[in-house]
Structure 1
Amino acid sequence: MSASSWPQAMMADHPYYPPDLDLPGYVPNKIGVPTLLASFAGAVGFVCSVTSVVARTVRPGISKGQVLTAMWFVVCGCIHLFFEGYFAYHNATMPARTDLFGQLWKEYALSDRRYLTRDSFTVCMEMVTAVAWGPLSFLIGWLVIIDSPFRHPLQIMVSLGQLYGDVLYYAIFFFDESVYGAIYCRPESFYFWVYFVMMNGFWIVIPGWIVYTSIIETAKAFRVAQGSAKMKGL
């Protein structure tokens, strides 16, 4: 439904949809969108740079692919534990939050207002993500750097958890929209395709690839072990 189709009397003093949504204590963002997005991108870039330096210092011969994998998990750890953990902790007061993380969440909520309304699934999903996948992602990043074989089962576990959470997140959004007529996202295509689809899509594509590569590596290890066992049996 377009903004012009809503009766003026129903329009609220916030930019979220539906316009008659009640957001007690809502405070508008003060930081501009370019600054918010640049802050987030800058933080991700800083984490990637530090991870790369640490990885190449600890293991000079580390491959580019392993460096990228370590970067991914350390970035996931930061986002899961700190950013999503922030939401899980402050979910009751999100409309009124005015610090950097609060304003970043309110900007993202233009694509999914559930982050401002204490939606039960969103709160529980983010809490599990922060508590479980956050610390484990940091551990996996370190295991990748030191080339530990234990990283593969943990990679599979965490990546499947990320995939499952993201699939449920998408599925409930579209189910509520198609069955109940719920409106979570503003009508502008930017918020849907960039914020909702693209930004969450990373946790579909990358974990899927990591699960695939870890399964291949695990299968190779078992094949070698089985071959060695057969030779010893001879």
Structure 2
Amino acid sequence: MESMMETINGTTLGVTSHPFYPLEVEIANYLANEWSMQLLLAIFTAVCATIFFGTKFMVNRAHPHLPTKEKAAIWWFILSGAIHLFFEGTFYPTQASGVRTGYFSLNHTRMGPAQDLFGQLWKEYALSDSRYLTSDPFVLCMETVTAFTWGPLCFVVAAFITTSHPLRHPLQIIVCVGQIYGLILYYATSMFDHYYKEVTYSRPEFLYFWGYYFFMNFIWMVFPGISSVRTIAKAFKALEKVDATLNHANRVAKPNGDTNGHTNGFAKKSN
């Protein structure tokens, strides 16, 4: 009777066995990926390389005189924006309707059985963090903000770099701080559950924990706001020097606080 009830419940809830941690977590209607891990990673790498080198070619052609570090910033923000928009969620092409918006945000309850390219890529990544298959509130909110906010702004920053727009550096810092803040919370919530609740979301294999979970996210900690922070710091330092120079010149020109009075007095004595 108990076995029958488990079968009925399992069928009703659509819960099946899976390779994700914790092993007891329920993933509705889970289906194993049809494509191999090697093929999925090869496709993902090829797409990223195409975006990167395509952007590099167009930037070199359209803006050949930009400094290399500025070109590198454009390459990064275009690639980062594309990953946010297409992989993490805002635009997703389909054969039926052409474009579906909000892939992860709108399909988070149907990730288990997904067999399209992005669905399989998410299931492959979820071996390092099963929260992506369980509609975890934090992950869902973080990815939605990333896709709809930081994704588009990455392209805006890239465009501002090419035109030397005055808002480039402030906006670049905002985007980078937002990405870093989200990443810190991403790591922190996972580690909190691991150490305080003894719940582990990542498989222990090196590829999944250190490759997917740590390295593929830590990239966003290393780059891009540093250059803008330095530029703004240099600008304020230069402005302070200009102010100090002007103040010194005013003190020399106005020893008694009134240049006109001093000059007029001198002129009277001369007469």
1:59 to partner: Cα distance: 1.4
TM-score by length of 2: 0.77
The structure whose Rg is larger is: 2
Whole-Å separation in 2 of the counterparts to 1:146 and 1:39? 33
5 Å-filtered alignment, 1:68-217, equals 68-85=72-89, 86-206=103-223, 210-217=224-231
Worse-superposed segment, 107-116 or 47-56: 47-56
Whole-Å separation in 2 of the counterparts to 1:212 and 1:185? 30
For structure 2, list consecutive stretches of 5 or more residues without a partner in the other structure.
Answer: 1-15, 90-102, 250-271
Look up the equivalent residue of 2:229 and give its one-letter code: I
1:150 to partner: Cα distance: 1.9
Aligned residue-pair number: 220
1:21 to partner: Cα distance: 2.1
* Partner in structure 1 of residue 98 of structure 2: none
Whole-Å separation in 2 of the counterparts to 1:215 and 1:231? 24
Q: Secondary structure at the match of 2:165?
A: coil
Whole-Å separation in 1 of the counterparts to 2:113 and 2:166? 45
1:147 to partner: Cα distance: 2.9
Identify, as 1 or 2, the structure richer in helix. Answer: 1
5 Å-filtered alignment, 1:14-53, equals 14-53=18-57
Look up the equivalent residue of 2:185 and give its one-letter code: L
Q: Secondary structure at the match of 1:95?
A: coil
1:231 to partner: Cα distance: 5.3
Q: What is the aligned-residue identity percentage? A: 41
Whole-Å separation in 1 of the counterparts to 2:26 and 2:18? 9
Worse-superposed segment, 58-67 or 175-184: 58-67
* Partner in structure 2 of residue 60 of structure 1: 64
User: Is 1:221 matched up with 2:235?
Assistant: yes
TM-score by length of 1: 0.88
1:62 to partner: Cα distance: 1.4
Native 8 Å contact 1:140 1:151 kept in 2: yes
Q: Secondary structure at the match of 1:186?
A: coil
Whole-Å separation in 2 of the counterparts to 1:59 and 1:173? 42
1:109 to partner: Cα distance: 0.2
> Over residues 49-92 of structure 1, what are the superposed CA-to-partner deviations in whole Å (9 max), with x where a residue is unaligned?
12112212221111221121111111111111221112222111
Native 8 Å contact 1:59 1:146 kept in 2: no
> Over residues 78-130 of structure 1, what are the superposed CA-to-partner deviations in whole Å (9 max), with x where a residue is unaligned?
11122111222211111121110000000000000000000000000000111
Look up the equivalent residue of 1:102 and give its one-letter code: G
Look up the equivalent residue of 1:70 and give its one-letter code: I
Look up the equivalent residue of 1:45 and give its one-letter code: A
Q: Secondary structure at the match of 2:111?
A: helix
Look up the equivalent residue of 1:166 and give its one-letter code: L
Worse-superposed segment, 19-28 or 112-121: 19-28
Q: Secondary structure at the match of 1:183?
A: coil
> Over residues 164-211 of structure 1, what are the superposed CA-to-partner deviations in whole Å (9 max), with x where a residue is unaligned?
0000000110100111111201122221010101111101112xxx32
Worse-superposed segment, 66-75 or 167-176: 66-75
Whole-Å separation in 2 of the counterparts to 1:125 and 1:132? 10
Alpha-carbon RMSD across the aligned residues, in angstroms, is 1.6
For structure 1, list consecutive stretches of 5 or more residues without a partner in the other structure.
Answer: 1-11
